[in-house]
Structure 1
Amino acid sequence: MLITLGLILLILIMVVGGDRGVVSLIALCGNLLILSLAIWLMASGVPVLLVTVCVGVVISCITLFYQNGRNGKTWSAFLATMITMLLLFFFIYIVVWRSEAGGLNEIQQVGEDVFYYNMNLNISMRNVAVSVILLSTLGAVLDMALTVTTSVYEVKSHKEDMTFKELIHSGMQIGKEVTGTTVNTLLFAYLGESLLLFSYLRMQGYSFELLLNSKIMFENCASMIFGAIACVVVMPVAAVAGGYFFRFK
């Protein structure tokens, strides 16, 4: 069934997207290979955060430059993404460290399968939690950054005499229009994949207070919340970067 669904996706991308669809498909395969390599490196003992930073940069380059070419839109989007992810990295690390997230949650710890595996992995589970949040947030940040810089480019190309402040204002206005839909996408993606989990917790008699203070709730909500924060933060950064590139470069 998975092979059938994959073939359907492949055909639709090639038929509907045409040449750009094929390029997007190749970029997707490249990103999957990079993620697989990252998992292998982490399991081999390479520092998790170092692997995460390198993989994030490579995925950003593949997604922006290979799919959309090297131009002012992609360079400004890349710069905005790197600045946002750098700021977000310290914020995520502090939150994960203070909350002691990472490792097995309450549901996984009581499972029968856990007794058949060796849990001594010699890997920092907190760093793994930071890596998971960063990589899951990266896609939304890239999408928002490229949307804003492309919008600024289109505005500048139709009105050459716009000032730097006017370009920033245009980018902010366009970013505000798509922020709501992006946040809703992240929210419903999380809720959709967690409906069965919430049903299980309700059947087991979890109270609302216990659910709010559980590790499983934090792990599932952190990626969504940080993704929404990153989309809001990257919007002004991308507007400034795009305005600078298209006004002065």
Structure 2
Amino acid sequence: MSVTLMLSLILLALMIIIGGMKGIGAFVSLWINFAIMVVMIMLINFQFNALAVLLVGGTFLLTVTILSADADERTTTIALMASFIVMFALVILILPAEHLAMAQGFAEENSEELEGLSLGININFVTLGIVAALLATLGAIAEAAIAIAAGIGELLADQPNMSLASLARSGQHLGQQIIGTAVNTVLFGFMADFLSLAIWFGKLHYSLGEIVNAKLFTSSMLSLLYAILGVIVILPITMAIFLWQQRRQLQTDMGTNHDYDGK
């Protein structure tokens, strides 16, 4: 039995014990997302338009991730809308940022592993950098969106007569706590991923300027900043969509009650 299979079985067992049916759904969604990413890689390798593959694949990834949370219809809809808006906004940001940073492709530190291999793979590395940068943000965005939408929904369920202003203040406070945790999660993931590279830079006696200008460091730092920015922006967007839907529902209810009183 391979280590990957053994760890997968342990993960499945723990998710079933702790999460029950939701745990099984989350485990299945994990492998569905993995399959989607494999298909995306294959399509890009077959010279399909990478940005189109990214947008379609990213939409599927966000949908599967949010649906796996098994939240109510309203929470799921709001989380999906907010996630899609943030994803498209990040694409608009990442496109010029990656072109300006020029951190795509292989770095000098990869030369030993690539020795003897051909780099003529006929794929635009700038586009690949954009794809990788956005994919690195989607998980954090989806989790933050569903957590914020579900939390605000619980607040409204506990106090159905809460005014929109009070709901906005309470949701803002709740969202800030969720965002703080999500940002720390993203940061710790970056630190764990960068640890071996940092030790390598230290062993090679890189100066601070060389580290900052290294492709590996720049690409990792940009991915971190994109993810943190996406997590931060998801809060006001989710809040705005939730309040907009709540205002529409109140107006609809008032109109229905008015028609009923008239009869």
TM-score (norm 1): 0.94
Alpha-carbon distance in 1 for matches of 2:177, 2:31: 31
Structure 2 spans left out of the alignment, 5+ residues: 250-263
Aligned to 1:90: 92
Pair 132,185 (structure 1): closer, same or farther in 2 beyond 3 Å: same
Asked if structure 2 preserves the Cα contact closer than 8 Å seen for 1:149 and 1:238, the reply is yes
Pair 37,70 (structure 1): closer, same or farther in 2 beyond 3 Å: farther
Aligned to 1:198: 198
Asked if structure 2 preserves the Cα contact closer than 8 Å seen for 1:73 and 1:149, the reply is yes
Asked if structure 1 preserves the Cα contact closer than 8 Å seen for 2:66 and 2:80, the reply is yes
Which stretch shows the higher mean deviation, 85-94 or 154-163?
154-163
Determine if the alignment matches structure 1 residue 168 to structure 2 residue 172: no
Asked if structure 1 preserves the Cα contact closer than 8 Å seen for 2:66 and 2:143, the reply is no
Task: Give the C-alpha shift of residue 106 in structure 1.
Answer: 2.2
Aligned to 1:52: 54
Task: Give the C-alpha shift of residue 66 in structure 1.
Answer: 4.5
Asked if structure 1 preserves the Cα contact closer than 8 Å seen for 2:137 and 2:226, the reply is yes
Q: Bigger relative contact order, structure 1 or 2, given CA contacts below 8 A and separation 6+?
A: 1
Determine if the alignment matches structure 1 residue 239 to structure 2 residue 226: no
Match runs of 1:169-188 below 5 Å: 169-188=169-188
Asked if structure 2 preserves the Cα contact closer than 8 Å seen for 1:31 and 1:59, the reply is yes
Alpha-carbon distance in 2 for matches of 1:227, 1:184: 11
Task: Give the C-alpha shift of residue 115 in structure 1.
Answer: 2.8
Match runs of 1:5-154 below 5 Å: 5-68=7-70, 71-108=73-110, 110-111=111-112, 113-154=113-154
Asked if structure 1 preserves the Cα contact closer than 8 Å seen for 2:78 and 2:238, the reply is yes
Alpha-carbon distance in 1 for matches of 2:128, 2:167: 39
Task: Give the C-alpha shift of residue 193 in structure 1.
Answer: 2.1
Asked if structure 2 preserves the Cα contact closer than 8 Å seen for 1:34 and 1:59, the reply is yes
Task: Give the C-alpha shift of residue 41 in structure 1.
Answer: 0.4
Asked if structure 1 preserves the Cα contact closer than 8 Å seen for 2:141 and 2:230, the reply is yes
Task: Give the C-alpha shift of residue 169 in structure 1.
Answer: 2.4
Matching residue's letter, 2:117? Y
Residue-by-residue CA offset, 1:81-112 (whole Å, 9 max, x unaligned): 1111111111111111111121101211x31x
Aligned to 2:229: 229
Identity of aligned residues (%): 24
Alpha-carbon distance in 2 for matches of 1:66, 1:196: 33
Alpha-carbon distance in 2 for matches of 1:103, 1:131: 12
TM-score (norm 2): 0.89
Asked if structure 1 preserves the Cα contact closer than 8 Å seen for 2:104 and 2:126, the reply is yes
Task: Give the C-alpha shift of residue 197 in structure 1.
Answer: 1.2
Structure 1 spans left out of the alignment, 5+ residues: none
Aligned residue pairs, count: 247
Task: Give the C-alpha shift of residue 69 in structure 1.
Answer: 5.3
